[in-house]
Amino acid sequence: MNNQQTRQWTVDKLEDNLINNQAIKEAAQILKKGEVIAFPTETVYGLGANAYDESAIAKIFAAKGRPSDNPLIVHIAKREQMLPFIEGISEKAEQLINAFWPGPLTLIFKQKGEIASNVTAGLDTIAVRMPDHPVAAALLLTSDLPLAAPSANLSGRPSPTTAGHVMLDLNKRIAGVVDGGSTGVGLESTVLDVSTEEPILYRPGGVTKEQIEEVIGPIAVDPALKKAEEAPRSPGMKYTHYSPNGEVYLIRACEDIQKHVDKWQAKGKRVGILTTEENRERYTADVIVSSGSRANLSTVASHLYDSLRQFDKEKAEIIFAEVFPEEGIGMAIMNRLEKAASGRYL
């Protein structure tokens, strides 16, 4: 952390010719000077730095308080940007690129060692994605750099889906924030290892397992998906993550939530419930937050992190959360909730 004043630029993502936008040009120049800039993607806000510059990447880890054994995703705007640092593209990887790029799918390739070593945490693989957001694309093209970028939040906190979330966590810790409005998907990208013969899912996200399998057939799910690891093999594998300040507990049966609320309120605790529109009227608690509709889980995904941050604003000490079917985007939602709760179920 350098206590510098964090600059803020507001950019309309619908503006034509964003590569000519003065704010984009200024942010790109700062990136070229080895600083870090937060910017919007279709998933969450990323904290980007030149992926070839080891000292710039070190500033990401310092700003976030992120463990240096946790690899980063390299963002590109065109596939030519990754050719200097990946070993090759398999047939299945090619099919996935054609189907889902630009979009919320990160692919792990064998790497050539050209990228800064602290991007890959010493692994022989590298995670790459092409974001589907006009502001991100303009920044990548204008800087003409591949940008290593984890989520733009303090490590362990809920990921940011607005520039305001970024500023709450990282003001005076980073050089600047490009405000492109709220993000869309709301959860980080899916991470899939295509460096092996059988692709392996390391993190569920905006592209579902079912969608991937429609394109390339069955894929494996890494058994360590829900376990802490000393040395993560991909971004997003650390267990405790996405957490508000209060303790989060997952409740499988909605009908059990109120009795847990009553119990903890009797102990003098300020209690919150993370629910959905369908159920919000059935509960009484100090803080009730609806993250979306159970009938349309993409709305839950889009608002999940903002919902978790609401509990901090309301100073909830104990938070009980409903659970969701682990199918489609529900798999990604539950992955994030289990990490926010450190695996605690009641």
- What is the C-alpha separation between 251 and 244, in angstroms, rounded? 17
Q: Is 46 helix (H, G, I), strand (E, B) or coil?
A: strand
Torsion region of 101: left, alpha or beta (phi above 0 gives left; psi -120 to 50 gives alpha):
beta
Torsion region of 140: left, alpha or beta (phi above 0 gives left; psi -120 to 50 gives alpha):
alpha
Is 62 one of the annotated binding-site residues?
no
Is 43 one of the annotated binding-site residues?
yes
Is 305 one of the annotated binding-site residues?
no
CA 255 and chain centroid, separation: 31
Is 242 one of the annotated binding-site residues?
yes
Is 161 one of the annotated binding-site residues?
no
Q: Which residues of 222-234 are buried (b: 16+ CB within 10 A; e: fewer)?
A: beebeeeeeebbb
309 sits in which H/E element: helix 297-313
The encoded tokens of residue 135 equal 């502001």
The encoded tokens of residue 113 equal 């060692």
Is 66 one of the annotated binding-site residues?
yes
CB atoms within 10 A of CB 88: 10
**What would you measure as the largest C-alpha separation in the chain, in angstroms?**
61
Q: Are 121 and 70 in contact (CB under 8 A)?
A: yes
Is 151 one of the annotated binding-site residues?
yes
Is 149 one of the annotated binding-site residues?
yes
Is 159 one of the annotated binding-site residues?
yes
Closest CA to 274 of 258, 286, 290: 290
Q: Are 112 and 85 in contact (CB under 8 A)?
A: yes
Is 298 one of the annotated binding-site residues?
no
**Could you tell me which residues are annotated as the binding site for ATP?**
66, 70, 125, 151, 159, 203, 242
**Could you tell me which residues are annotated as the binding site?**
43, 66, 70, 75, 125, 129, 149, 151, 159, 189, 203, 242
**Could you tell me which residues are annotated as the binding site for L-threonine?**
43, 75, 129, 149, 189
